[in-house]
A and B are shown apart, each in its own frame.
Chain A
Amino acid sequence: MVSRVLVPMDNSEMAERALRHALETYSGAEITVMHVVGEPSGMMGKAAKLALADDLKTVADELASDVLSRAESIAEEYDAEVDTSIEVGHPGRAIVNQAEDFDMVVIGTHGGSLSDRLLVGDVARRVFRRSPAPVTVIR
């Protein structure tokens, strides 16, 4: 029985599809949408911005608000509610670290731009190789 589902999301369409899949397939489960901020960027400015903030939480909330409110409005279409969580650092690492608290991870195959692929690497691959929980990859 799958009762807790983790859906890591970035701002890509692939991530939205993963959320829709989770909402359709695990309608009885408690779904947590997770967004990672402060990920590696061209000159590491995104990570530094968080590290330098007086109040990390406020800045992280701001950075994550677009993706998370989009997730909430998608959930509304399914008359469902989702929990949200914000993590910092490398997306692949952060997702794998959180995955053990869940019965299932639903993730899109890829998101982001070419530079993200180069700088961050293949997040979905890292997750399905290292996640302690079963992983569904959506494309």
Chain B
Amino acid sequence: MVEVLIAVGVIVALFVGFNIGGSTTGPAFGPAVGAGAISKLLAGALMSVFFFVGAWTIGRRVVTTLGRDLVTDPGVFTVETSIVVLFFIGGALFVGNYVGVPASTSMTAVGAIAGLGVARGALDWGVMGEIAVWWIVAPLVGFWVSVMIGRYVYPTINRLIAIDSSEGALVELDRSGAVPIPRAGPNTTRREFLGTVTLITIGCLMAFSSGTSNIANAVAPLFGAGVALNPLILLGSAAVAVGALTIARRTLDTLGNDITDLPLTAAIVVAVVASGIVIGLSAIGIPASFVIIATMAIVGLGWGRATRTVTISEGIRGESKPTVSVGALAAEDPGEEAPDIGEEAPEEIPAAADLFDPATTGRVIVMQNVVPILSTVGAYVTFWLLFGFVW
């Protein structure tokens, strides 16, 4: 009987991992696949490898936090309670995908475990409080770092990693040697090659950061119930790999994902800022809320850019000059020099207040919290009923 239950638990954990692989590959490798730098198959493979590396090295710290430290009495994790917790995590992932409002898997998982802990009177409020504080601090850090980047260095980064695709394959495999070596394609410029390498590297960084924080969401409850950690990490990563190589093909196709929609430079900045924060939090054992951190980074970058001040050097060099495309800009006569940024009429610069007013942005953040809150309350009520009337 116990074997059957453990098998059910493992299957539910695999299902959660499978969905994580499916939903994370898009944001991580969407820009690289979209730019034609790598195939979807290679994206899935890189996702699998770097997720596993992240999970094996740093991810185990988060697993320990969720599976051990968050509850004062490790006994609350039985195979049965773990299955229920995993159902809530998987269900929340499903609801989030179905409704189309992104939700943080880590917040959902912490919520479900906290629901269990409160129902049993075994939640460690100190650990919970520490996690909650980081959930507020980390997005604010992401926001301010991105504001600074958007305001002061975005054009510089943009120039460094400008990627204009030329004809022909970006990267070719040189098969003349014993080991195939990737080489720049026939028309690939050096800068374009570097840009492409940057895109792929950043995808790998995001996959790694996902591994550090997301492996816990799939396997922490079973770890709490006493299953050994290393086999769990291997199994969870394998499930992620299956998701990355199968359903992720579809999520890579749909352009509905907000990171992929951004200009490439912005996608790269957001990826680096958000992944950096997630890896840092994971290293100290805190499950990070990637969705909210990334959202605040996107808002910060856009807001910082929209409220930019013209720097002296920029004004002199005449950078950030809008490209004149005749016909598109009805206000300008053909051939007329586009105005330098300092000379633009105020209404030409996107009104930051219109695009990111606090009420609008706040509503989006609140919606992102709905699924984790539902999972917390749902888990609490479910365990209260189960412990009161069934077990």
Binding site for B on A (CB under 8 A): 38, 40-58, 61, 88-90, 93-94, 113-115, 118-119, 121
Interchain pairs with CB closer than 8 A, number:
133
Most buried by B among A43, A44, A57, A115: A43
Contacts of B100 in A (CB 8 A): 42, 113-115
Question: Which of B218-226, B231-239, B353-361 has 4 or more CB atoms under 8 Å from chain A?
Answer: B353-361
B354 contacts A90, CB within 8 Å?
yes
Q: List residues of chain B with CB within 8 A of the CB of A90.
A: 354, 357, 360
B291 to chain A, nearest CB (A): 7
Tell me the B residues contacting A by CB distance below 8 Å: 99-102, 150, 154, 256-259, 261-263, 265-266, 291, 294-295, 298-299, 301-303, 305-306, 320-323, 325, 328-329, 331, 348-352, 354-357, 360-361, 363-364, 367-368
Q: By the criterion CB–CB under 8 Å, are A45 and B262 in contact?
A: yes
CB-nearest residue of chain A to B146: A48
How far is it, in angstroms, between the C-alpha of A121 and the C-alpha of B100 when the chains are bound?
14
By a CB distance below 8 angstroms, the chain B residues around A44 are 258, 295, 298-299, 302, 356, 361, 364
Given the known interface contacts A52-B154, A57-B328, A119-B363, the answer about A43 and B348 at a Cβ–Cβ threshold of 8 Å is no
Tell me the smallest distance from the CB of B84 to a CB of chain A, in Å. Answer: 27
Which A residues are in CB contact (< 8 Å) with B355?
Answer: 38, 47-48, 50-51, 88-89
Instruction: Check A54/B348 contact, CB under 8 A, given A44-B364, A48-B262.
Output: no
Interface residues of A, dominant DSSP: helix
Question: Given the complex, which residues of A lie within 8 Å of B361, measured CB to CB?
Answer: 40, 44
Assess the A51–B350 pair: CB atoms within 8 A. yes
Cβ of A49 and Cβ of B261 under 8 Å apart? Answer: yes
Q: When chains A and B are docked, how far (Å) is the Cα of A119 from the Cα of B328?
A: 30
19 sampled A-B residue pairs with Cβ under 8 A: A38-B350, A40-B361, A40-B363, A41-B364, A42-B100, A43-B258, A44-B298, A48-B266, A51-B355, A52-B305, A55-B323, A56-B349, A58-B323, A88-B354, A89-B360, A93-B357, A94-B354, A118-B101, A118-B367
Determine chain B's interface SS by DSSP, over half rule.
Answer: helix
Minimum CB–CB distance from B93 to chain A (whole Å) comes to 15
Contacts of B259 in A (CB 8 A): 43, 45
A53 to B325 CA separation, bound complex (whole angstroms) = 14
Q: Closest residue to B323 on the A side, CB-wise?
A: A55
Q: How far is the CA of A55 from the CA of B323 in the complex (A)?
A: 7
> Are B367 and A54 neighbours in the complex by a CB distance under 8 Å?
no
> In the complex the two chains form, what is the Cα distance from A56 to B345 in whole Å?
13
Q: Note all chain B residues with C-beta closer than 8 A to A49.
A: 261-263, 266, 302
Q: Using Cβ atoms and an 8 Å threshold, which residues of chain B touch A55? A: 322-323, 325, 329
**Taking the nearest CB of chain A, how far is it from the CB of B360, in angstroms?**
5
Nearest residue in A to B299 (C-beta to C-beta)? A44
Given A42-B102, A46-B261, A88-B354, 8 other A-B contacts at CB below 8 A? A40-B363, A44-B295, A44-B302, A44-B356, A47-B355, A48-B302, A57-B329, A93-B360
For B154, the chain A residues whose CB sits under 8 A away are: 52
Residues of A within 8 A of B294 (CB): 43
Q: Are B328 and A52 in contact (CB under 8 A)?
A: no
